[in-house]
Chains A and B, each alone.
Chain A
C-alpha cells in the first residue's frame, strides 16, 4: 500500500480545489432548471426583500439556470456599456431601452411575447417601449412621481393644497420659515427630477406625436420662469443630506412639500399617518393640465446573449405569465403600480387613501418620456433648466437653443433605419 505523502496530499488538494472552482457558480439566485445558463441583471432596489424575491422567482424557473445579479451604482450606464460586449446580461431591467439602443440592434424584439395580452399592459408605459410597431421591453412595474404635502403645516399656514403653479409658488413662500422650507424639488432645485413635467403642466409636450419639438411655444418660457421664482423666493430646500427620491427631508420637517416617488408612500404613511396628501404637478396657464411623470423599468433581452430564445421564454414566463410574481414584486416590498391594468385594479393596497389618489392621478394625468427624447436632448434641456432655475437665465433664449438641439437630434434619429 502506498503511503500518502505531503506532496501528494497537497497536489490532491489543489486539484480538488480547481475542480470545485470550475464547477462552482458564484452567481446568486441560480434557477434550478436544467437548460442553458442565463444571466439576469436588476438595478439595486432600496426595498428590503426585493432582492430575495427576484432570486426566488429565478429559482422557480425550471427551463434554465438563472443567475441573478443585483447591481448597485449607475445601473443605466453599466447596462449600456455591457450591451457593447458579449459578456453582458442575457435578460436585464432597462429604464428604456433608448432609441439608439434599439436602432443599434442591441435589444431583441419581444413583440410576440405580448400576443393576446398586450391590451392589459398600461399604454402609458408600453408606448415608450414600442418603436416601429415592435415592443422592445416588457414593462415590469409603473413608477411615478408626486407632490407630497403635510396637511397640518398647510392648515397652520392657511394654505390650500395648490392646484396651479402660481398657487404652488405662493404656497411655498408662505410655508417657508427659519426652520422649514416650503418645497423640496431636489438639491439642484428641480432641474434633474422635474424634466418635462412643467411643460406637460403647461399643456405642452417634449416631442409631439408626429415627431416634432413639443415646446416651441411662449407658454414653455413662462412656465419655466416660475420655477426660478421658487428659487429666487428662497422657498426651495437645497442641500438636504438625502435627495428628492428619499422622503427623509419631508419626514424630518425640513420641508412642508416635497416632490418624490410613489415608492416613498409606505414610509411616509408609516411616519406621518394621515397627516399628508399627494398631488400631481399643478397646471399652469389656460391650456394647462396637471401632470404626473410615469416610467417603467422593463425586462429586455440582449441581442448579444448566447441564448436569446431561452431568454425570451424566461421573460415571457416571469413578466407575462406569472402574474402572481408580478403583483408580489410590485407591492410586497416597495410600492409600485403593477404594469398590468388587471393587476393594478385588483390590488387592495391601491384602493384607498393617498395610494388611490396616486393611481387616479397616474391614470388621468400620467405622461411618459417619449422614445424620441434622446439622452443628448435630455442633457441640453436639463442644462437649460438648471440655468433658468438657479442662475435666472432668460427662459426664452435658453429654450431657443434647446429647441435647435432637439430638432437636430430628432432629425438624426429619424434618418436612421
Chain B
C-alpha cells in the first residue's frame, strides 16, 4: 500500500477503529478484569477475589434458571422463525401479481421498535381483562378471559413472547430467503419436472432446500445470535417498577439487574457476562460445525 493510500486508509478507517477500541474492546477487557474483583458500586476495584464471582454466579439458581430459559427460547424461536419466514418467502415468490406489495407488507414489522411492539402486545392484544383483543375473540367462542402474561400453568406468556418476536423478525428473514430463492436457476426446476418430480414437497425437499443451504446457514446463525440477545421484548412485556418475575427471565435481564440495577454488583455481573459469552461461543461453534459452515460439499 502506498503512503498516500495508507494515509487515506487511516483517515477513513481510523475513527471507526478508534471508536471500536474505545467503546467495545476496552470495556470488554475492563469487564473481564472486573470479574475477578469485588466491585460493588464501583468500576475501579481494588479487592481481588479470584474466581469467587464465577463460582457464585454458577451457584446462583436465578442465573442458571435464566440460562435454561434462554435455551428453551432459542430452541423454540429459531425453528419457528425459520419455518415461518421460509413459508412466507415461498408464498410471496409464487405470486404473479402484487409481489412487491406483499413483500413490503410482510417486511414492514421489521421497521417497528421491539419496545413499541411489546407494549402493543402487552396492553392491547394480550392484556388479561375481558376487553383485550385475544380475550374478546375467546369470548366469542364462550371462553373465559386468560391472563396471558401472568399465567404460569399453562405458560401462556410464551405465546405472547414468541408471537411478538415472530411478527417483528419473520419479514426480515423472508427477504433473505426471497433473495436465495431468486438465485435458484429455473433450469433445475425444469429438469426436475422433466424427470417427473411433482411440484410441492418433493421439489421443495430435493431442489429448493438444498439450493437454499447457504442462506439457511446464515439465517440460522443470525436467529441464534438474535435469540441470545433477547432483552427488549422480555423486559417490556414482563417487568414492572418492582422487578421481574423469575420465569422467562433471560440472562441479559438478570445481568442487567445484577450489574446495572440497584444491585450494582459489577464484579458479579461481569463474571456472568463472561460465562454467557462462553456459552454463546460454545453453542455458536457447535452449531456452525453441525451446519458444516464454511465447508463445500466436496470437503467430506
The stretch that binds B, out of A115-123, A238-246, A347-355, is A238-246
Asked if B217 lies at the interface with its beta carbon under 8 angstroms from chain A, I say no
Chain B residues with CB under 8 Å of A380's CB are: 62
Asked if B240 lies at the interface with its beta carbon under 8 angstroms from chain A, I say yes
Asked if residues B240 and A241 are in contact (CB atoms below 8 Å), the reply is: no
Asked if residues A241 and B245 are in contact (CB atoms below 8 Å), the reply is: no
**0/1 interface trace, chain A 364-402, chain B, CB 8 Å (1 if under):** 000000000011101110110011001100000000010
Asked if residues B150 and A238 are in contact (CB atoms below 8 Å), the reply is: yes
Among B129, B247, B260, B262, contact of A240 (Cβ-Cβ < 8 Å): B129
Q: Known contacts A100-B40, A390-B152, A401-B61; is A80 also within 8 Å of B260 by CB?
A: yes
The stretch that binds B, out of A124-132, A185-193, A273-281, A309-317, is A185-193
Asked if residues A238 and B264 are in contact (CB atoms below 8 Å), the reply is: no
Asked if A137 lies at the interface with its beta carbon under 8 angstroms from chain B, I say no
Asked if A223 lies at the interface with its beta carbon under 8 angstroms from chain B, I say no
Asked if residues A239 and B147 are in contact (CB atoms below 8 Å), the reply is: yes
Asked if residues A186 and B127 are in contact (CB atoms below 8 Å), the reply is: no
Give Cα A80 to B42, complex, Å.
Answer: 10
Chain B residues with CB under 8 Å of A140's CB are: none
Asked if residues A77 and B242 are in contact (CB atoms below 8 Å), the reply is: no
Among B41, B150, B246, B263, contact of A83 (Cβ-Cβ < 8 Å): B41
Q: Known contacts A84-B43, A100-B40, A383-B246; is A238 also within 8 Å of B123 by CB?
A: no
Chain B residues with CB under 8 Å of A387's CB are: 246
Number of A-B contacts (CB under 8 A): 114
Asked if B27 lies at the interface with its beta carbon under 8 angstroms from chain A, I say no
Q: Known contacts A238-B150, A243-B240, A387-B246; is A77 also within 8 Å of B261 by CB?
A: yes
Which among A76, A191, A240 has the highest number of chain B CB atoms within 10 Å? A240
Chain A residues with CB under 8 Å of B247's CB are: 386, 390-391
Chain B residues with CB under 8 Å of A401's CB are: 61
Query: What's the least CB distance linking A203 to chain B, in Å?
Result: 24
Query: What's the least CB distance linking A190 to chain B, in Å?
Result: 10
Question: How many chain A residues touch B (Cβ–Cβ < 8 Å)?
Answer: 45
Asked if residues A238 and B147 are in contact (CB atoms below 8 Å), the reply is: yes
Residue of A nearest to B235 (CB): A74
Asked if A4 lies at the interface with its beta carbon under 8 angstroms from chain B, I say no
Residue of A nearest to B131 (CB): A241
Query: What's the least CB distance linking A295 to chain B, in Å?
Result: 12
Give Cα A179 to B131, complex, Å.
Answer: 11
Q: Known contacts A240-B128, A240-B129, A401-B61; is A98 also within 8 Å of B262 by CB?
A: yes
Asked if A254 lies at the interface with its beta carbon under 8 angstroms from chain B, I say yes
Residue of A nearest to B263 (CB): A375
In A115-165, which residues have CB < 8 Å from any B CB?
none
In A68-102, which residues have CB < 8 Å from any B CB?
74, 76-77, 80-81, 83-84, 96, 98, 100-101
Asked if B132 lies at the interface with its beta carbon under 8 angstroms from chain A, I say yes
Asked if B243 lies at the interface with its beta carbon under 8 angstroms from chain A, I say yes
Give Cα A307 to B6, complex, Å.
Answer: 48
Query: What's the least CB distance linking B234 to chain A, in Å?
Result: 14
Give Cα A412 to B264, complex, Å.
Answer: 15
Asked if B130 lies at the interface with its beta carbon under 8 angstroms from chain A, I say yes
Give Cα A374 to B257, complex, Å.
Answer: 13
In A178-236, which residues have CB < 8 Å from any B CB?
179, 186-189, 191-193, 195
Asked if A106 lies at the interface with its beta carbon under 8 angstroms from chain B, I say yes
Q: Known contacts A76-B262, A187-B240, A192-B240; is A239 also within 8 Å of B129 by CB?
A: yes
Query: What's the least CB distance linking A27 to chain B, in Å?
Result: 25
Give Cα A186 to B244, complex, Å.
Answer: 12
Asked if residues B240 and A382 are in contact (CB atoms below 8 Å), the reply is: no
Give Cα A345 to B145, complex, Å.
Answer: 46
Give Cα A98 to B265, complex, Å.
Answer: 12
Asked if residues A188 and B245 are in contact (CB atoms below 8 Å), the reply is: yes
Chain A residues with CB under 8 Å of B263's CB are: 100, 374-376, 379
Asked if B151 lies at the interface with its beta carbon under 8 angstroms from chain A, I say yes
Asked if B148 lies at the interface with its beta carbon under 8 angstroms from chain A, I say yes
Asked if A16 lies at the interface with its beta carbon under 8 angstroms from chain B, I say no
Give Cα A386 to B14, complex, Å.
Answer: 51
Chain A residues with CB under 8 Å of B145's CB are: 239
Query: What's the least CB distance linking A56 to chain B, in Å?
Result: 27
Give Cα A186 to B128, complex, Å.
Answer: 12
| Chain A contacts to B: CB under 8 angstroms | 74, 76-77, 80-81, 83-84, 96, 98, 100-101, 103-104, 106, 179, 186-189, 191-193, 195, 237-241, 243, 245, 249, 254, 374-376, 378-380, 382-383, 386-387, 390-391, 401
Known: A77-B261, A239-B129; 12 extra A-B contacts, CB below 8 A, are A76-B261, A77-B260, A100-B40, A100-B41, A239-B126, A239-B127, A239-B147, A241-B129, A376-B265, A380-B62, A386-B245, A391-B152
**Can you list 29 contacts pairing A with B, beta carbon distance less than 8 Å?**
A77-B260, A77-B262, A96-B262, A98-B262, A100-B41, A100-B263, A100-B265, A101-B264, A103-B40, A104-B40, A187-B150, A187-B240, A189-B150, A192-B240, A193-B242, A237-B129, A238-B128, A239-B129, A239-B132, A239-B149, A240-B127, A241-B132, A243-B240, A254-B129, A375-B261, A382-B242, A390-B151, A390-B152, A391-B247
8 nearest A-B residue pairs (beta carbon): A239-B128, A192-B242, A238-B147, A104-B41, A238-B150, A239-B147, A383-B246, A375-B262
